[in-house]
Structure formats: structure tokens, C-alpha cells
Amino acid sequence: MISRVTASSMAQTSMRQLQANLSELARLQEQATSQRAFLAPSDDPTAATTAMRVHAEQRRTEQYARNANDGLAWLTAADSAITASTTLLARARNLTVQGANDGALDPVAKEAIAVELEGIRDELLAQANTRVLGRSVFAGTSDTAAFTEQGAYSGVPDSEVVRRVSDGTSIRVDADGAAVFGVGKASVFTLIDDIVKDLRAGENVGPRLNEIDDRRTAMLSAQGAVGARQSQMERAKEATLQDSVSLEARRAAVEDVDSVEVLVRLQAQELVYRSALAVTGRVLQPSLMEFLR
């Protein structure tokens, strides 16, 4: 059976083909403008699903990077505070050595040493209450200051502040104030108070030197632990940076277009569309009926 082809059916077919060519041209123009491989998930469901997974990984990696930066701020603050404290304690030791020389010092000289030691105690207290964004780095999970004005520890014992830096790694970012500065009669604050009392009472402070050395050793030990965690945090930060670069490359491979490729395809599609217009214009010539009208 022979199908009848009318001018109307030819026109409709031609219009559908032209519309399809025009839609493809518009899609390529949109890609060239936006530099994106797809604008809606329906354009490429597989690529859209992959892109969603990559974006989720990117957000997680960005959070880990923020955690690493925050953790480094905590650890750096703790390290700096302990360094300053050991320096202050070294000065306190020198003053104690001077104060132990009973034969060469009169009460006025010992009083001057006692006053300077009180100033060192205040500075040590300030270092012990070092804060990062309002949180004490030596108080554990407590929001309060690590030590009171009297030198009593007010943090949460045996608690840790941690930051997650990868799917399976969390790093402690605070330092144990009780271990660094001591508590009760064993605290550095009580030690200096006792030295000051001995100086003013005329007692020899030489025996206090061993106590100072023990406290300084404890501080250095705690600083070593903080330094080790700093190195671990630096490595974690570097790892998140590498992951960010890798994920961005994966995202670009899925979402971004090759500018050269899309421009070549756009020019080719423009040529196809113009050719289709030219062919349609030649095929759909005015009919006899149109002239009779």
C-alpha cells in the first residue's frame, strides 16, 4: 500500500526535525556558556548521582580541614603556653638559687626576690588559663578557666577535647592542665607560694630546687606529647588538602565540559541547523493551491 505524502505532512516533519536540531543547538550553547556538562539530574542521571557523591565527600573533607585548622590552633596555643611556663619556671629557679644564699642576702634583697616570684606566679596562672575562642586549652571539656586565682584546678579531670580529622582518626587537641601545672600541694602555684613564704620567714629555700626541677620535667614531658599531636595534626591537614585536590579533579571530570570539544560540537550543530533550514526552504516550495489563493 502506497502512503500518501502531502505538503502538510512534509511541513510537519520538517518542523519537528528543525525543532530537534534547534533544541540540540540550544543545549550546546548552554553548555558553552555555563561550562557544565548537565544542568538538571534528568539530563544525565548517572553523572548526577556520581556528582552528588563527590559533593558529599567534598563537604566531609572540608569539615575535616576545618577541624584540623581548629585543632592546630588549640595545640599551638598549648605548646606556646607550656614553652612560656617553662621559661618562667627557669627564671623562678634562678631566683630561688639566689634566695638560697643566706649569707649574702639581707631581708630587703630576699623581699625583692619574693616580689618577683609573686609576679612569676601570676604570669604562670595566666599561661595556665590560656584560651582559644573562649575555651581553656588546659581545662579539658570544661568551659571555665582551668585554674582559680588560688591556683586550684577547676577543669574536668581525665577529659579530652578531640577533633575528627578523617573517617577513622580523631586527635586530642587540649593538654592536661593537672599534669602540666600540678594540683593541690604539688602544683607549681603552691610551690612558688611556699618559696615566697620561706624567703619572708628567713628559711633556706635550697631544698625547693628539686621540686622546681620535677615540675619543669613534668611540663617538658607534657609539651613533648603536645608536639607529637601537632605533627600528627599537620599530617592530617596535608592529607585533607590532597583529598580536596583529588575530589575537585573528580568533580570537574563529571560536571565540567571540555571547552574546546563543546565549541567544536556547537559549530558543527550550527552548520547542521543552517543546512536543515536551507534544505527545508528548497523542499517546501509554494504549491499550486497557494498561488490560486
> Domain residues for 15?
7-35+257-292
Extended beta strands in the chain, E state: 131-132, 135-136, 162-166, 169-172
Mean local confidence (pLDDT), 135-141 = 94
Pair 69, 214 in one domain:
yes
User: Tens digits of per-residue pLDDT, 31-81?
Assistant: 656 566 667 777 678 888 888 898 899 999 999 999 999 999 999 999 999
Task: Give yes or no: residues 118 and 135 share one domain.
Answer: yes
Short-list 201, 270, 244, 258, CA closest to 55: 244
Structural domain tally of the chain?
A: 2
Q: What is the rounded average pLDDT of the residues 189-195?
A: 96
**272, 240: one domain:** no
In tens, the pLDDT along 109-132 reads 999 999 999 999 999 999 999 999
SS3 256: strand
User: In this structure, are 133 and 188 located in the same domain?
Assistant: yes
Find the CATH number of the domain harbouring 201. 1.20.1330.10
Asked if 195 and 272 sit in the same domain, the reply is no
Q: Which three cell numbers stand for residue 131?
A: 584560651
pLDDT beyond 90 at 275: no
Q: Give 86-130 as a DSSP string.
A: HHHHHHHHHHHHHHT-TTT--HHHHHHHHHHHHHHHHHHHHHHT-
Given this model, what pLDDT does residue 90 score? Answer: 96
From the list 211, 216, 208, 139, the residue with the least C-alpha distance to 173 is 139
Same domain? 12 vs 143? no
Domain annotation covers residue 167: yes
Instruction: Examine the domain organization and report whether 148 and 72 are in the same domain.
Output: yes
Grid cell locating 211? 621540686
Report which DSSP code applies to 162.
Answer: E
Confidence label for 238 from pLDDT (cuts 50, 70 and 90)? very high
Q: Do residue 14 and residue 120 come from a single domain?
A: no
287/8: higher pLDDT: 8
25 in any annotated domain: yes
How do residues 143-191 score in pLDDT, each as one tens digit? Answer: 899 999 999 999 998 899 999 999 999 999 999 999 999 999 999 999 9
- Check: CB of residue 187 under 8 Å from CB of residue 181: yes
In sequence order, what are the beta bridge partners of 153? Answer: 147
182 and 280 inside one domain: no
- The answer, yes or no, to whether residue 247 has pLDDT greater than 60, is yes
Domain shared by 31 and 151, yes or no:
no
Q: What is the pLDDT of residue 288?
A: 47
In a domain, 40, yes or no: no
pLDDT in tens, 253-262: 777 565 556 6
Same domain? For 135 and 28 the reply is no
Q: What is the pLDDT of residue 251?
A: 79
DSSP code, position 132: E
d(CA 27, CA 293): 40
Which among 190, 115, 118, 120 has a CA at the least distance from the CA of 152? 190
Q: pTM (2 decimals)?
A: 0.77
183/178 Cα distance (integer angstroms): 6
Query: Are 154 and 67 members of one domain?
Result: yes
